[in-house]
Structures are given as C-alpha cells and as structure tokens.
Amino acid sequence: MNDSSYRSLEQMCRQQAALTTHEETRRSLQQMADEFRRKADTQERPPDKE
C-alpha cells in the first residue's frame, strides 16, 4: 500500500473518531489512525545511506 493510501486511511479514522459518541470506538479509531500515520511516515522516510 502506498503512503498516500495510509494517509487517507488515517484521515478517515480521525474523522470517524470525531463523529462517534462511543468512547471505546473513538479510542480504537484514534489508535488505528496513529498506526496508519506511523506506516505512512515510515514509507516516506528516505532509505538509509551506508
């Protein structure tokens, strides 16, 4: 999956978290958004030079 897809998924999770009134669901969606952000950040990072 490319990093823009992870960014889109992150944004969708954050939007859904903002809309829900169920606290456990909100926490889960926020955790998912954080994980998608980490995945996108990792893919966007340039490769290490040796």
Domain positions in the chain are 3-44
Which residues lie below 8 Å from residue 20, measured CB to CB, with a gap of 6+?
Answer: 26, 29
Query: Which two three-digit tokens encode residue 37?
Result: 């952000």
What pLDDT was estimated at residue 49?
Answer: 73
Q: What is the distance between the alpha carbons of residues 4 and 2, in angstroms, rounded to a whole number?
A: 6
What pLDDT was estimated at residue 50?
Answer: 66
The amino acid present at 4, given as its one-letter code, is S
In the numeric block, the tokens 């999770």 are attached to 13
**For the segment 16-40, what is each residue's pLDDT rounded down to a tens digit?**
999 999 999 999 999 999 999 999 9
pTM, rounded to two decimals: 0.82
Q: What is the distance between the alpha carbons of residues 14 and 22, in angstroms, rounded to a whole number?
A: 14
